[in-house]
A and B are shown apart, each in its own frame.
Chain A
Amino acid sequence: MSTRQAHSDAARIDPHSKTRTTGHEWDGIEELDTPLPRWWVITFYATILWSIGYFLAYPALPTLSGGTQGLIGWHSRASVARDMEQLSEIRGPVLERLANAPLEEIEARPQLLSAVRALGAAAFANNCAGCHGAGAQGAKGYPNLNDDDWLWGGKLADIRRTIEHGVRWDADKETRSETMPAFGRDGMLDAKQISIVADQVRAMAKLPGGIATAQGAKLFDDNCSVCHGVDGKGNHDMGAPNLTDALWLFGSDKETISSRIANGGGGVMPAWKDRLDEPTIKALTIYVHTLGGGE
C-alpha cells in the first residue's frame, strides 16, 4: 500500500456533500475543504483587536529603562498593595485583639489562639525556618524549638526577648551576648585537661564511656560551673545548656565536646525587633511556645 498526496489541482466538488475538496487524498480518502462560518473568523479578528486594546491599557512593552505603563495606570505592585490592604482589613480585628491581649492570656482563648498560631506559623515560615527548619525541628547548632530544652529560657517572656534582641547579635545592645570562652584556643586549658573535662562532662550526662575523675571534677568546678552550674544543669541567664540531659545541640561524642571546650563560642540569631512588627513578634512567641516545649 502506498501513501501518496495528490497535487491540489486534483481539487474537485464532492458530489455527495457538494463541498470542495482540498485535493489531498490518502488511500482513496479525500479531505473536504469545508469553509469556516464567517462569524467564527470575525471572532478571531475580535480577539486580535482585544489584544491591541489590552496592550495599550496595560503595561506591555519593555523598554531600556522600564516599560510602557499602560493607559489605565494599572501596576502589579499597586495591585499587591491593594490585596495586602484588604488582607490587613480582614486581619484587623484579630490583630487588635492580639495587641490588647497580654501574652500570658492568649493561650487560654481558643479562637484567638488558633488565629495567632496561624499568623505565627506564616511568620515562622518566612523568617525563622531558614535556620530552625520548616517544622522548627532545628539542626546541628540550631536549636529544635519543639523540645523542652531551652538555652535562654522557654517561658513566654524569655522567648519573646530572644526573638526581639537575638543571640550574640552585636547590632542590638540588649542581645543575649554571653558566650562560652575558648578554653583551648585561649590557653586556659591544655589538650589533656580538655580531654579530662570532656570525659567528666560525659560522665555527668551518664553517657556510655564517660569517665568521672577527681581532676575532672575540679577542672569542671573551676572552669565550667560558673555558667553551667555546679551540677551541670545549665543556666538560662547565661545561655548555658544543661549538660546532664538527653539533648545536645552540637553532639554528645567526646570529640565534639572537646572541640566545644577548646573553641567556645556559640550560635548567632538576628534581632527581629526592628524587622517585625509587634503583633508578629507576639504571634511568633505564641507559636514557638505552643510547639510543645514552652515552659
Chain B
Amino acid sequence: MTSADMGKAKSGSLYAPRKTIYPKEVEGEFRRIKWWLLAFTLSVYYLLPFVRWDRGPDAPSQAVLVDFLHRRFYFFFIEIWPQEVYYLTGLLILAALTLFLMNALAGRIWCGYLCPQTVWTDLYLSAERWIEGDARERARKDAGPRTAKIWREKIAKHALWLLIAWWTGGAWVLYFADAPTLVYALATFQPGISEAYIWIGILTFTTYMLAGHMREQVCLYMCPWPRIQAALTDEYALNVTYRYDRGEPRMSLKQASALRLAGAPAGDCVDCGQCVAVCPTGVDIRKGASLGCVQCGLCIDACDAVMAKIGRSARLIAYDTQMNCERRRKGEAPVYKPLRARTIIYAALIVAIAGLMSAKLATREDARLSVLHDRNPLAVTLADGSIRNAYTIRFANMSAEPRRFLLETSGVEGAEVEIVGVEPDAEGRMIVGVGADQTRETRVLVTWRGARRAKGQTPILFTSKELESDASVTMRDVFVTP
C-alpha cells in the first residue's frame, strides 16, 4: 500500500481494509548487505548478555548489565550510578544526531537496514518463506481452499514465529540479571522470577504481533520517524529513486527494441513490476518519493537483475535524488553534495558530544562527596551562645575496594568539627570508612565556640581525602550565623 493507495476506500467507508503484501524474495547487493546487518545486529542482541567482564569479586561479571536492584548500569569497563544518568542522555542525543546525519546523507536508511522492526520482519519473512514458500505461492495458498497441508504449514509457521518471539523476550530479560544464572533458573522453572516471565511474555507478544502481523503497518501508521524525517530532509539527501529520465516512457521490451532500431527514444523500464513485487511495504517506487518507502534498496536489486537480463545498464533505480533526474532530463550533469551545511553540522555535533562524553568518562572520579546543609534550622544556637551548623555529608566510594576517607574542613578556622558516630583517631583525625561500591551518609556538626560572629554566611570547604592515595574531593558550602 502506498500513501496514495491509503485513501482508496470505497466511497463512504471510513475505514480502509489492509491489503496483504507478499514481498517476493530477491537477491543482489543490497539484499546481501541486509543479510549481513541482520546477522550482526541479531547476534549482538541475542549473545551480548553472555559476554563476561571481570570486575573483581564484589561486582557482577556480566559485560552489559542493567542492575535495577542495586541501581547500577554496567557496560564493559564503564559503571554508571543513578546520578550519572546524563551519560544515557548523552547517548540518546548521539543516537538522535546519528539518525539525523544518516537521514541527511541517504534518507531513511535506518529504517531499511537497522530498525528492529525491519530486522525482525525480515527474519519473520524468511521463516515464512522457508515454510510456506515464496510470495506467489503464499498468495495462491491464501486465495485457495484451506487444505490440511496448508493448515500444517500455518501452524508450523506461527509456532516458529512464537519461538523466535519467545527467544527475543528471553534475551531481553538477560540484560537485567546475570544471564547464565537466569537461563538456568528459567530452564528449571525456579520460583521467584515471575517478573522475568512477565517481561518475556510482553516481548513475545509484541515481537510476534509487530514482526509477524503488523509489519509495514508499523512503518506506515505507527512510527513517528517518517513524519519527522520528512521535515528534516532536503533535496540533496539520497533516496531510493526511480530514474524516470532514463526509464520513461516505459514500454515492453519488444516495442523498445523496435523504437531504438528506428532511432527513436525509448525508456528502459519494461514495466515488469519486479520493483513492486519485492517491496516489503508495497510501494511502487516509480510513483516517486513515498511515505511507505523504507529505503531498503531491494527494488534496486530486483531492477538490476532485470536490466542485466535485457542487456541494459544497471541502476535504473538507485540511491539518487529527484533533482538529479530532472537535471539529467534537461541534459545537465547530476549534482551530489554529501558535504553541506547540515551534514557538517551534524557530524561536528556528533564529534563534539562524543568527545565531551569520552573526556568526562575518562576523567570520572571514583570517589565523591556531597554536602547538604540542614535547611531547617539553618543554624542552631547552643546554650552557651555558640553557633552550630549541621550538614548531611555523603561519601561515595565508586571503586571495587573498601576505602577510608579523611574529612577536613576549612573556611571557618577554629570551628569544632564532629561526625556523629565517628570517633576521631589518636591524632584527632576524622576517618570515615566506606565499603566497596557503596556510599555512606554522615551527619556532620560544625560548631563555632569563639567570639560572637557577624550575622551572615561564610564559605566553608569540606575536603574528603582518600587515605591511601591522597586523592581528594572538595565541596563548598556555607556556615550560617544567625
Contact = CB atoms under 8 A, between A and B. Distances in A.
B31 interface: no
A293 B380 CA distance: 10
A290 B420 contact: yes
Interface string B1-34: 0011011110101111110000000000000000
Nearest to B220: A37
Interface stretch (B88-96, B146-154, B271-279, B384-392): B384-392
Given A35-B9, A35-B13, A35-B15, A292 B390 contact: yes
Nearest to B222: A40
B376 A133 contact: yes
A158 B334 CA distance: 92
B319 to A, nearest CB: 26
Interface stretch (A15-23, A72-80, A95-103): A15-23
B445 interface: yes
Contact of B380 (A19, A32, A146): A146
Contact of A144 (B7, B377, B384): B377
Contact of B390 (A18, A20, A146): A146
Nearest to A291: B390
A247 B6 CA distance: 81
Given A35-B7, A37-B217, A246 B382 contact: yes
B440 A147 contact: no
Contacts of A292: 380, 388, 390, 420, 443, 445
A147 B7 contact: no
Interface residues of A, number: 38
B381 interface: yes
Given A147-B382, A246-B384, A39 B18 contact: yes
Nearest to A33: B7
B40 interface: no
A17 B5 CA distance: 8
Contacts of A242: 383
A18 B9 CA distance: 9
B380 A147 contact: yes
B375 interface: yes
A36 interface: yes
A18 B8 contact: yes
B421 interface: yes
A255 interface: no
Contact of B15 (A18, A19, A41, A110): A41
A117 B443 contact: yes
A156 to B, nearest CB: 13
Interface in B363-388: 374-377, 380-385, 388
A114 B3 CA distance: 63
Nearest to B374: A135
B383 A20 contact: no
A144 B17 contact: no
Contacts of A37: 6, 15-16, 18, 217, 220-221
Interface centre among B3, B374, B383 (most CB of A within 10 A): B383
B221 A144 contact: no
A26 B440 CA distance: 66
B221 A19 contact: no
B441 interface: yes
Q: Report, as a range, how many residues of chain B touch the other chain.
A: 35 or more
Contact of A35 (B16, B375, B383): B16
B60 interface: no
Contacts of B440: 110, 114
Contacts of A135: 374-377
Given A110-B440, A133-B376, A135-B375, A34 B6 contact: yes
A137 B8 CA distance: 73
A35 B445 CA distance: 70
Contacts of A34: 6-7
A38 interface: yes
B14 A36 contact: yes
A290 B444 CA distance: 10
A107 B418 CA distance: 13
A144 B221 CA distance: 63
B433 interface: yes
A148 B220 CA distance: 71
A38 B15 contact: yes
B421 A107 contact: yes
Nearest to B388: A292
B7 A17 contact: yes
B443 A18 contact: no
A199 interface: no
A245 interface: yes
B8 A290 contact: no
24 contacts: A17-B3, A18-B4, A20-B7, A35-B14, A36-B15, A36-B16, A37-B220, A38-B15, A38-B18, A114-B440, A114-B441, A144-B377, A146-B380, A146-B388, A147-B381, A147-B383, A242-B383, A245-B383, A245-B385, A247-B381, A290-B443, A291-B390, A292-B380, A292-B390
Interface of A: 17-20, 32-41, 107-110, 113-114, 117, 133-135, 137, 144, 146-149, 242, 245-247, 290-293
Closest 4 CB pairs of A and B: A19-B7, A135-B376, A137-B377, A245-B383
Given A19-B6, A34-B7, A148-B382, 10 more contacts: A19-B4, A32-B7, A37-B220, A107-B421, A113-B420, A135-B374, A146-B390, A245-B385, A247-B381, A247-B383
